[in-house]
Amino acid sequence: MHYPVMRDEVLQYLDLRPDGCYLDCTAGMGGHTLAIASQLREGMVIANDRDAQSLEMARANCAGVSDRVRFHHGDFPSLAEAVRAAGVPQVDGVLADFGVSRYQLTSAERGFSLQADGPLDMRMNTAQNQTAADIVNFWDERELANLLYQEAEEYDSRRIAREIVRSRPIHTTLQLTKAVERAVPRRGRLSPATKTFLALRRATNEENLQLRAFFDVAPDLLKSGGRLVVISFMSLEDRVAKQRLRELEKQGRGRVLTRHVVKPSEAEVRQNPPSRSAVLRAMEMN
């Protein structure tokens, strides 16, 4: 079952108007899109995602509100194009959930998961060229170590990078997991490969560049009084979100609505444990 993270909090901070236009930048399987569209009458949701397969699932999941949804396949730099294609100059609210969808994490063939063996892919947009296997097999040891430390704060990065290079070629998620486990013994319940997979996913999909592009583009797409709502799952991403919202406020472009991050309720975490690390921030534009 698909659980849109902090659905009620998202709807609250977007401050929906029945005739408003909203942009869900990370539609995924359509959970937030459906929740927003269900509150509208004459309004519209632009559902954007760079994962075409997820977008097709969103289309099916939102079939009951299809008259209020416009779908767009694209990344963060193309958000303005998504709005133009919907025939509107600006929108009343923008939502971005920076997490990875459950579909991506649980589909072995996508290569995101440590739980099932599959090709070492990790591309959110399967039309792009670079895969995680390209990074693992062709980056040198120093580049790999720096990547693991900078993108996932992996303190055993040098040992892991050394073992990855020694274990080449690596083509599957299981091969990579075993290489990391040879370098770093298991401590507790989490696999020692967890941070390696995280760093590779972020590098494969250029998530730092995408995040910067989002905050460069999204504020300009909002009307005066429009709401910007972001959900992060990693401290690295939340740090950027916090900083960029503060910068926008200092520039007089908006007012931060969340002086402290909003977290999921205890009831939501019990129902959907992966939501426990989510944090939400919001801003109203001037």
Q: Is 46 helix (H, G, I), strand (E, B) or coil?
A: strand
Q: What percent of the chain has pLDDT over 90?
A: 88
Is residue 134 located within the same domain as residue 269?
no
Is residue 29 located within the same domain as residue 43?
yes
- Among residues 142, 176, 204, the one where a domain terminates is 204
The first and second tokens of residue 178, run together, are 């075993």
Is residue 219 located within the same domain as residue 270?
yes
Q: Where are the alpha helices (DSSP H) in 100-234?
A: 102-106, 132-138, 141-152, 157-167, 173-183, 194-204, 207-217
Is residue 97 located within the same domain as residue 212?
yes
Bond prior to 274 in cis (omega within 30° of 0): no
The verdict on residue 54 lying in a domain is yes
Region 92-101 average pLDDT? 92
Has residue 239 got a pLDDT over 90? yes
| pTM of the full structure | 0.94
Domain interval for residue 98: 7-103+208-285
The CATH number linked to 224 is 3.40.50.150
Is residue 20 located within the same domain as residue 92?
yes
- Among residues 204, 222, 249, the one where a domain terminates is 204
- Among residues 180, 204, 228, the one where a domain terminates is 204
Report the number of distinct structural domains present in the chain: 2
Cα angle at 227 between 222 and 228, to 5 degrees? 85
d(CA 124, CA 171) in angstroms, rounded, equals 18
The CATH number linked to 137 is 1.10.150.170
Amino acid at 111: G
pLDDT at 2: 65
d(CA 27, CA 265) in angstroms, rounded, equals 22
The verdict on residue 114 lying in a domain is no
The verdict on residue 197 lying in a domain is yes
Residues 247-278 have pLDDT tens digits of: 999 999 999 999 999 999 999 999 999 899 99
